[in-house]
């Protein structure tokens, strides 16, 4: 067995706060080498596209960012019969503006278990949610609604890339559309300076 990698790079920009997405597709190649030796060029390919921009919507003083515009749909295509996994990873735990003001990562009770959004009144936090309208949604993990109250949310900056969805079969030629939302909240007892906050999130699709 030997591996070949097919890299698909993309850049998605999001404004107010601004998210930068870098997506990478990885392809695995399989060759039958058992006796008698028969070399079959069986190549499993994968491709991913996440369009831009992703606009969080403004937060003035206190409140939650609007969810109507702050999502991205990643289209994943693979002919691998065992499917793919889609992961996210933030470059830093915080979003930062030009004045070095920050919005911290969302802090669920368990760092790897999505939960209904809950931010303390003295905190300002941001996190991510896999949309219920995704081709391969996991509503048990992520909730059945694309809202703060009805969905489940998680930090995006865990130590390793977090697997937000897994599919165990190949996709149609048109691919799977996986919808990812990002949200932020400024608590009623917290002061958050205005400005454009940025963070880099890497989306990675890998054949299984």
Select the more confidently predicted residue: 34 or 153: 153
Which DSSP string corresponds to 2-46? --------EEEE--SSEEEEEEEEE-EEE---SSSP----EEE-E
Q: What is the pLDDT of residue 65?
A: 87
Burial 7-18 (b: 16+ CB within 10 A, else e): ebebebebbbbb
Rounded mean pLDDT of 4-17? Answer: 29
- Look up residue 21 and give its two tokens: 């997405």
Instruction: Locate the domains of the chain by residue range.
Output: 10-207
**DSSP assigned state of 115:** B
Quick one: tokens of 66?
């609007």
Nearest to 43 by CA among 62, 57, 67, 27: 27
pLDDT score for 36: 62
- Taking every pair of C-alpha atoms in the chain, what is the biggest distance, in angstroms? 72
Report pTM.
Answer: 0.79
126-146 per-position pLDDT tens digit: 999 999 999 988 899 999 999
Burial 118-138 (b: 16+ CB within 10 A, else e): ebeeebbbbbbbbbbebbbbe
Model confidence at 104: pLDDT above 50: yes
Q: What is the DSSP letter of 171?
A: P
Tell me what pLDDT residue 184 has.
92
Q: Which of 20-24, 116-120, 146-150 has the lowest mean pLDDT?
A: 20-24
On whether the CB atoms of residues 48 and 177 are closer than 8 A, the answer is no
Per DSSP bridges, beta strands 176-186 and 124-130 are antiparallel
- At residue 192, the pLDDT reads 87
Per-residue CA distances from 71 to 13, 80, 81 (Å): 11, 27, 29
């Amino acid at each position: 067995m030997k591996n070949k990698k097919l890299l698909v790079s993309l850049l998605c920009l999001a404004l107010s706060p601004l998210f930068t997405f870098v997506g990478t597709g990885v392809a695995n190649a399989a060759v039958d080498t058992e006796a008698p030796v028969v070399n079959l060029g069986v190549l499993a390919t994968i491709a991913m596209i996440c369009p831009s921009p992703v606009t969080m919507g403004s937060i003035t003083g206190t409140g939650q960012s609007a969810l109507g515009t702050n999502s991205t749909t990643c289209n994943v295509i693979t002919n691998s019969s065992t499917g793919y996994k889609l992961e996210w990873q933030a470059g830093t735990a915080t979003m930062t503006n030009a004045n070095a003001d920050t919005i911290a990562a969302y802090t669920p009770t368990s760092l790897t278990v999505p939960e209904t959004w809950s931010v303390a009144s003295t905190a300002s936090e941001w996190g991510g949610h896999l949309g219920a309208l995704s081709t391969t949604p996991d509503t048990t993990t992520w909730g059945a609604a694309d809202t703060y109250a009805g969905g489940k949310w998680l930090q995006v900056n865990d130590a390793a890339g977090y697997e937000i969805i897994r599919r165990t079969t190949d996709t149609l030629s048109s691919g799977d559309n996986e919808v990812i939302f990002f949200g932020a909240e400024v608590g009623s007892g917290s002061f958050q300076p205005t400005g454009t906050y940025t963070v880099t999130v890497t989306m990675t699709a890998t054949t299984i």
